[in-house]
Amino acid sequence: MLKIKTLFVALIASVFALNAMAQTVSMGLTASAMYYDADGHEKMKSSANKTSKSSSGAAPFASIFLEVDLDNGTTVGVDVIPYSSKIGDGSNSVPDTDTDDLSDSAGTNKVDVNLANAVTLYLEQEVDIPGLDTLGSPYVKIGYSQMELETDESVQTGSTYGDETMSGYHLGLGVRGDLDSGGFWKTALTAAIYDGASFVGSQDTDSVSNTIELEDFNTVTLSFSIGQSF
């Protein structure tokens, strides 16, 4: 969380510092649909057994952005998701394999995964793409982001997992155009690769801690934005 706050403050300061070089300052709202694909495993400390699992799905979210247009045609911006958004959930059933009901861990384990405190710094550069320019002004987009993955779990062993910060690297292609009202719109398709993360559980009823390793987390996001320049 501290890393994300530090990054956010630094990005805001950078945007306003670039204001002195900018032709235009803009802000607006973005609606996005994200497809994600994740791979990982859980390691049981008591037995050292690993259970691998893959998951994929889609999640919508909204964000706000602030950006500046520089003299060389480059746009520098920061995009923030100001709330926690659920992106997935899961469950598994554990059979009753012991005879000691006092330490019984049988039942259904459930977990919700939320995306929170997501901050992205991005650059957009106008490019010439024949055919695509009939829709608007094409641009390529690169970005760097940090976000928290929050886990809300109900585990029969009593173990809980903390939240972890992940970094992502973005590459996309978009189109931008003007609105009759004086504002602008833009849409983009962006792919991102995120660093992995380790979630270490608290000690459970057997006095051991299990570990979940998120090895790969990749996304493809389609976004549509509306903004106003000042």
Nearest Cα residue to 76 out of 143, 6, 4: 143
Q: Specify the pLDDT at position 124.
A: 95
Q: Specify the pLDDT at position 188.
A: 98
Q: Which domain holds residue 223?
A: 2-94+103-229
Contact 28, 225 (CB under 8 A): yes
Beta strands in the chain (DSSP E): 22-43, 50-70, 74-81, 85-94, 107-126, 137-154, 164-178, 184-194, 197-200, 211-229
CATH at residue 113:
2.40.160.20
Q: Specify the pLDDT at position 207.
A: 55
Nearest Cα residue to 41 out of 215, 159, 178: 215
The tens digit of pLDDT for each residue in 134-156 reads 899 999 999 999 988 777 655 54
- The per-residue pLDDT of the chain, averaged, comes to 78
In DSSP terms, 70 is beta-bridged to: 22
Q: How many domains does the chain have?
A: 1
